[in-house]
């Protein structure tokens, strides 16, 4: 795989992030939603960039010992190349440094590819949010991963 770099998401990245967001999700975030995330002091927002092209991103909030993955996507042209795994690994590493022991996320109940992806990082099902998604209407599976090293 060709090289890419991770860096903190900045305001000027948002238009390129929105391109991926809109082709990846039926309920895409708005420009203001991403702007709100990059302005938070308790957020971790990273983009994967190859050349001058944003090819993926992750948005995570954290407080005390818990983190919450809000958004993760990779451009369709670059999927299945390990980019999401690098974004996840880096986020987990940084969250551990912030003192997080647990990491949560919601995923569409029908999204078996995403569920398997998170399971590879040790996530398991923690619950269901009924009718969490509206377009189309669908339940969310709440997944939780333990970040604290055993021992």
Enzyme catalytic residues: 106, 118
Nearest to 75 by CA among 110, 51, 103: 51
Rounded Cα distance between 111 and 146, Å, is: 21
- State the alpha helices, DSSP H only, in the chain: 14-24, 31-39, 83-97, 112-119
Decide if 131 contacts 125 (C-beta within 8 A): no
Say whether 42 sits in a helix, a strand or coil: coil
């Amino acid at each position: 795989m060709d090289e890419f770099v991770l860096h903190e998401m900045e305001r000027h990245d948002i238009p390129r992030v929105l391109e991926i967001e809109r082709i990846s999700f039926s309920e895409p975030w708005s420009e203001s939603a991403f702007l709100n995330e990059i302005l938070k002091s308790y957020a971790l927002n990273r983009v994967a960039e190859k050349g001058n092209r944003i090819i993926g991103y992750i948005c995570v909030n954290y407080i005390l010992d818990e983190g919450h993955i809000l958004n993760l996507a990779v451009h369709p042209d670059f999927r299945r190349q390990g980019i999401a795994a690098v974004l996840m690994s880096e986020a987990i590493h940084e969250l551990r440094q912030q003192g997080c022991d647990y990491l949560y996320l919601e995923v569409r109940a029908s999204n078996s590819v995403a569920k398997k992806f998170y399971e590879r990082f040790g996530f398991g099902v923690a619950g269901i949010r009924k009718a969490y998604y509206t377009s189309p209407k669908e339940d969310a599976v709440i997944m939780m991963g333990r970040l604290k090293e055993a021992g």
